[in-house]
Amino acid sequence: MLHPIHGVVARRYDNLPPLELQIDALRRRGILSHQIKPKVLKKIPQAPDWLPAPEDVWSLLGATASVPELVQAGDFLVSGPSRQDPPLCSIADLQEAINRFTRCRGTSKLRDALPLVRTGVESPAESKARLTILDGGFEEPITCCPVDVFGITLHSDLGYPELKIAIEYDGNYHFSSGPDQIRSDEQRRAAMRAAGWEVLTMTVEDLRDPTLFYAKLRITIHSALSPTTDPHPRTNVT
């Protein structure tokens, strides 16, 4: 059984080529094995020898995963399963693992993915949303963007704090958790807007075709950068 890592899922289909596993010289029909050189894998204290470190699992994914998938997996590892949980490893750990896997398959993809890995990410869709924005030629928004709302700090999924633009991703959780969750999300966003922030939302449809979202974001950024002018300027009366 293969364990999925935050959006990088191994799927089994009858019409696919033989499954590739990173294991030590296992020879079975339908399985292609790859030998790993000694001392490449990191030894975890008080763990069985066969259990790789999280950063090593990420490095092994380089042989089959795409760069965006590696970013999603890396975001998960350095952010942790939730805001309440500690990260499974650090960005420095991922870099150190790349150094050990230098001559292994997929290392070039790992090097491309690592500069895009960020902390403060709560879902693979947020990773996809950030990469989608970058693909549109925009500056990278920060993750877990702090929004000061009258002395209380809220957080949007992504944002440009210098422009007071918050970006929220509405995934299945937003729509399937019932009216209370939708009401809570809308109240948070209303509070952000009351504090002077523009709030944009993204959905899975925007990930498939971001054209409309790009237009909204471009207009919002332009408005934030353009100085406002008073249509009825006051004149000094002496």
- Domain membership of residue 151 (yes or no) is yes
Q: Which residue has the higher pLDDT, 215 or 234?
A: 215
Host domain of residue 136 = 124-225
- Whether the CB-CB separation of 217 and 132 falls below 8 Å is answered with no
- Domain membership of residue 10 (yes or no) is no
Q: Which residue has the higher pLDDT, 178 or 74?
A: 74
Q: Which of 72, 100, 116 is the last residue of a domain?
A: 116
As a whole number, the mean pLDDT across the chain is: 83
- Domain membership of residue 108 (yes or no) is yes
- For 35-44, what is the mean pLDDT? 70
Q: Judge if 174 and 218 occupy the same domain.
A: yes
For residue 157, give both structure tokens: 């999924």
Q: Judge if 43 and 77 occupy the same domain.
A: yes
Q: Which of 116, 132, 157 is the last residue of a domain?
A: 116
- For 196-222, what is the mean pLDDT? 97
pLDDT value at residue 173: 66
Question: How would you class 138 by CB atoms within 10 Å of its CB: exposed for 0-12, middle for 13-18, buried for 19 or more?
Answer: middle
Q: Which of 83, 116, 149 is the last residue of a domain?
A: 116
pLDDT tens digits, 81-113: 888 899 999 999 999 999 999 888 899 999 999
Does 131 score more than 60 pLDDT?
yes
**What gap in Å lies between CA 89 and CA 91, rounded to an integer?**
7
Question: Among residues 170, 171, 166, which one has the least CA distance to residue 156?
Answer: 166
Mutual orientation of helices 67-79 and 54-61 as an angle, nearest 10°?
170
Q: Which region among 27-41, 59-73, 183-197 has the lowest average model confidence (pLDDT)? A: 27-41
The total of structural domains in the chain comes to: 2
Q: Which residue has the higher pLDDT, 45 or 16?
A: 45
Q: Judge if 98 and 174 occupy the same domain.
A: no
Residue 180's CATH number? 3.40.960.10
